[in-house]
């Protein structure tokens, strides 16, 4: 095999459409990278795969991505009717009108419609695990495309879970079948390693896995391109020749060297103009064109074998843990794994479970079971890694906190017990934290302070009080992705009506520190950390906050890329609003969804897309009027009036 200088000479002589890495010395030997297809014998020949009825397949998996919904409409594919305005796209989009008619000449999911959809390039190292990297990337991309959330999955989970050693190779259908049966977890639950560790994932793996309903085998080039256009990236395999390891940029075609074996990658797009597939490799960002390569049509047998796509994914609570707060949550329940779940007070200080079917036309709200008899305010609801159970904490009529949980196996709510201070007097913030899956709660107490409680395997513990002059606590507690551990963040309302941001530095002593003071409010604030500002899966998303003020909702946000950490008010909307009960950024593009409690004690839904805020339906009552006055008296004006 020639060295870099000799290969460059060959490329020049044949007028190749590609070049080697520019900064390598001519005498440098070409480094061979790890592959991972055990043999081509068990790869499925593309010619044996029947052409797919993609309209029928995708009719079972309609998208709520507004760009993709509009794209499928242009292709005459059945789509889910949306309450949003899909042609406008989400906030901040740079392309508002999708391609019309036939398939476009080029699709590149790295920056399609001005948004990033593909996770960063990784490195398989010395292991024969390329198949796992290709399959895992498809799942990460589809979680981003279908549910508008970045998702980082572990290539080691499937590779080691199947029972392979570092040097072992495999085939795409083997991986997808295993993931369909077992899901695939995040790297913190089970990291990718090259030293053959025993497969020993985290204890709550079942609640930290993205799950698949199915995967699709694609044989024809037309099906593969249509899938990339109408669904997302796919994975496939090709033959690696010795010159491929030296690729730097351009459109690759084989020039020199023998076959080294077979390799799997992720195809994130295609270009009919350049006549190539746009490929994400797994040899690190220092290889090729920042980790990518364009492989010419028909080159290296890339079209010889079938490729694989995933039509639908089911994200886990851990993936979406920063995207919701208050009484509103998007679960993995429902046919398309994106129902809205909500808890609200009802007659006799009980709690009622509401849910919105995000598959059915019109997205109807319905209510399920009632539970409890001591709720003073709407609960704070979340989904946890405990088998994806729903968990809730609320302020009781006896000035305590009460924990309940729904068992996903039987759909029943279970009493988790009363805990906390004897003088609780506010809406609690409630999350599951990075600390071994512990629960964390912060609530206002009658001395106008904030009280932090946390639960580990031995029960609930008092984490101490901080702050002074607090009028309202709210469902604003979250664990951001600042720092190694992730800071705790919350916003409360002070006695003078201003809002105060607090944060706990979890890398340096777990000390609560006051941050910016901003705005005014007359109710409990509700805050999330969304996806805006996250150019990659490791980025830091903006804080989004909604709070009642003067009978309307004030939407505030903080640009977490801005060193000044200033809060800005984005919009004022709504009417007759008593309090904001819930806030989430869900699977409907990057839209924000808000539930408010109105002055007539009805719950109402609002939502924001690229056109702004919209008034949604009145859902139902949150509390019987006959119990309002006793609760107000009990809380000593801790509720908004």
Q: Are residues 307 and 208 in the same domain?
A: yes
Interaxial angle between packed helices 130-147 and 172-182, expressed in degrees from 0 to 180 and rounded to the nearest 10: 50
Residue 61 maps to a domain: no
Residue 218 maps to a domain: yes
Instruction: Supply the pTM of this predicted model.
Output: 0.94
Provide the Cα torsion 266, 268, 270, 276; round to 10°.
-40
- Residue entry with tokens 């809380």: 635
CATH number at residue 153: 3.90.70.10
Residue 364 burial by CB count (10 A; 0-12/13-18/19+): exposed, middle or buried? exposed
- The parts of the chain modelled with pLDDT lower than 50 are 82-98, 624-636, 638-641
The kind and range of the H/E element at 131 are: helix 130-147
Residue 255 belongs to domain spanning: 31-53+105-313
Provide the Cα torsion 59, 65, 67, 73; round to 10°.
20
Q: How many residues does the chain have?
A: 641
Residue 132 maps to a domain: yes
Residue 476: per-residue pLDDT: 98
Q: φ and ψ at 135, to 5 degrees?
A: -65, -40
Q: Are residues 519 and 455 in the same domain?
A: yes
Structure tokens at 242: 């010795």
Query: Of 279, 313, 347, which residue is a domain's last?
Result: 313
Q: Are residues 121 and 175 in the same domain?
A: yes
What distance in Å separates the CA atoms of residue 334 and residue 318, rounded to the nearest whole number?
18
Residues 268/254, Cβ–Cβ less than 8 Å:
no
Q: Are residues 302 and 432 in the same domain?
A: no
Residue 396 maps to a domain: yes
Q: Are residues 333 and 431 in the same domain?
A: yes
Query: Of 265, 290, 313, which residue is a domain's last?
Result: 313
Residue 639: per-residue pLDDT: 46
Residue 87 maps to a domain: no
Q: Are residues 368 and 235 in the same domain?
A: no
Q: Are residues 406 and 522 in the same domain?
A: yes
The kind and range of the H/E element at 605 are: strand 602-609
Residue 98 maps to a domain: no
What distance in Å separates the CA atoms of residue 628 and residue 528, rounded to the nearest whole number?
28
Residue 491 maps to a domain: yes
What distance in Å separates the CA atoms of residue 223 and residue 237, rounded to the nearest whole number?
16
> What is the DSSP annotation of 354-389?
EEE-SSSTT--EEEEEEE-S-B-SPPEEEE-TTTT-
Question: Into how many domains does the chain fold?
Answer: 2
Residue 75: per-residue pLDDT: 87
Q: Are residues 386 and 294 in the same domain?
A: no
Residue 331: which of 350, 352, 357 has the closest Cα?
357
Q: Are residues 391 and 296 in the same domain?
A: no
CATH number at residue 505: 2.120.10.70
Query: Of 295, 313, 331, which residue is a domain's last?
Result: 313
Q: Are residues 356 and 281 in the same domain?
A: no
Residue 600 maps to a domain: yes
Q: Are residues 393 and 300 in the same domain?
A: no
Largest CA-CA distance found in the chain, in angstroms, rounded: 88
What number of CA atoms fall less than 13 Å from residue 145's CA on the CB side? 34
Residues 87/64, Cβ–Cβ less than 8 Å:
no
What distance in Å separates the CA atoms of residue 30 and residue 196, rounded to the nearest whole number?
27
Q: Are residues 289 and 360 in the same domain?
A: no
């Amino acid at each position: 095999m020639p060295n870099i200088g000799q290969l460059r000479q060959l490329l020049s002589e044949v007028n190749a459409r590609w070049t080697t890495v520019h900064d390598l010395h001519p005498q440098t030997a070409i480094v061979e990278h790890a592959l991972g297809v055990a043999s081509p014998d068990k790869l499925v020949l593309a010619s044996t795969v029947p052409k797919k009825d993609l309209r029928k397949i995708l009719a079972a998996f309609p998208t709520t991505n507004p760009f993709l919904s509009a794209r499928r409409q242009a292709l005459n594919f059945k789509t889910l009717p949306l309450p949003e305005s899909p042609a406008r796209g989400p906030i901040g989009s740079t392309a508002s009108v999708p391609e019309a008619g036939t398939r476009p000449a080029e699709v590149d999911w790295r920056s399609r419609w001005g948004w990033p959809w593909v996770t960063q390039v990784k490195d398989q190292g010395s292991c024969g695990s390329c198949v796992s990297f290709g399959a895992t990337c498809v799942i990460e991309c589809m979680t981003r495309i279908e549910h508008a959330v970045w998702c980082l999955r572990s290539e080691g989970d499937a590779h080691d879970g199947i029972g392979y050693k570092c040097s072992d190779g495999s085939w795409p259908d083997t991986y997808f079948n295993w993931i369909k049966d077992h899901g695939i977890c995040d790297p913190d639950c089970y990291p990718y390693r090259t030293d053959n560790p025993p497969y020993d994932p985290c204890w709550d793996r079942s609640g930290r896995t993205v799950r698949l309903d199915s995967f699709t085998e694609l044989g024809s080039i037309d099906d593969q391109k249509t899938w990339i256009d109408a669904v997302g990236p796919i994975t496939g395999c090709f033959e690696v020749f010795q010159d491929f390891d030296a690729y730097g940029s351009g459109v690759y075609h084989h020039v020199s060297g023998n076959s080294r074996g077979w390799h799997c990658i992720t195809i994130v797009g295609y270009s009919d103009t350049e006549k190539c597939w746009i490929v994400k490799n797994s040899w690190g960002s220092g290889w090729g064109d920042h980790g990518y390569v364009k492989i010419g049509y028909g080159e290296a047998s890339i079209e010889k074998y079938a490729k694989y796509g995933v039509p639908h994914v089911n994200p886990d609570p851990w993936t979406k843990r920063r995207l919701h707060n208050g009484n509103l949550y998007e679960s993995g329940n429902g046919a398309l794994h994106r129902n809205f779940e909500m808890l609200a007070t009802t007659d006799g200080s009980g709690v009622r479970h509401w849910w919105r079917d995000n598959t059915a036309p019109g997205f109807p709200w319905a209510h399920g079971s009632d539970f409890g008899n001591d709720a003073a305010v709407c609960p704070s609801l979340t989904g946890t890694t405990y088998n994806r159970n729903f968990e809730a904490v609320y302020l009781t009529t006896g000035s305590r906190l009460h924990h309940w949980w729904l068992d996903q196996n039987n759909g029943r709510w279970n009493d988790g017990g009363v805990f906390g201070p004897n003088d609780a007097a506010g809406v609690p913030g409630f999350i599951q934290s990075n600390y071994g899956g512990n629960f964390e709660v912060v609530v206002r107490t009658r001395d106008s302070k904030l009280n932090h409680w946390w639960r580990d395997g031995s029960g609930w513990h008092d984490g101490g009080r901080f702050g002074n002059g607090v009028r309202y606590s709210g469902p604003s507690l979250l664990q951001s992705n600042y720092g190694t551990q992730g800071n705790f963040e919350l916003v409360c309302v002070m006695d003078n009506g201003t809002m105060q941001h607090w944060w706990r530095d979890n890398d340096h002593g777990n000390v609560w520190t006051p941050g910016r003071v901003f705005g005014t409010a007359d109710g409990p604030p509700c805050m999330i950390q969304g996806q805006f500002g996250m150019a990659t899966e490791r980025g830091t998303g903006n804080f989004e906050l909604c709070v009642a003020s003067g009978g309307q909702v004030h939407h505030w946000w903080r640009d977490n890329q801005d060193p000044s950490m200033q809060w800005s008010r984005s919009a004022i909307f709504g009417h007759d609003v008593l309090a904001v009960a819930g806030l989430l950024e869900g699977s409907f593009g990057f839209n924000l969804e808000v539930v408010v409690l109105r002055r007539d004690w009805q719950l109402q839904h609002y939502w924001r897309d690229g056109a702004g805020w919209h008034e949604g339906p009145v859902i139902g009552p949150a509390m019987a009027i006959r119990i309002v006055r006793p609760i107000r008296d009990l809380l000593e004006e801790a509720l908004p009036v």
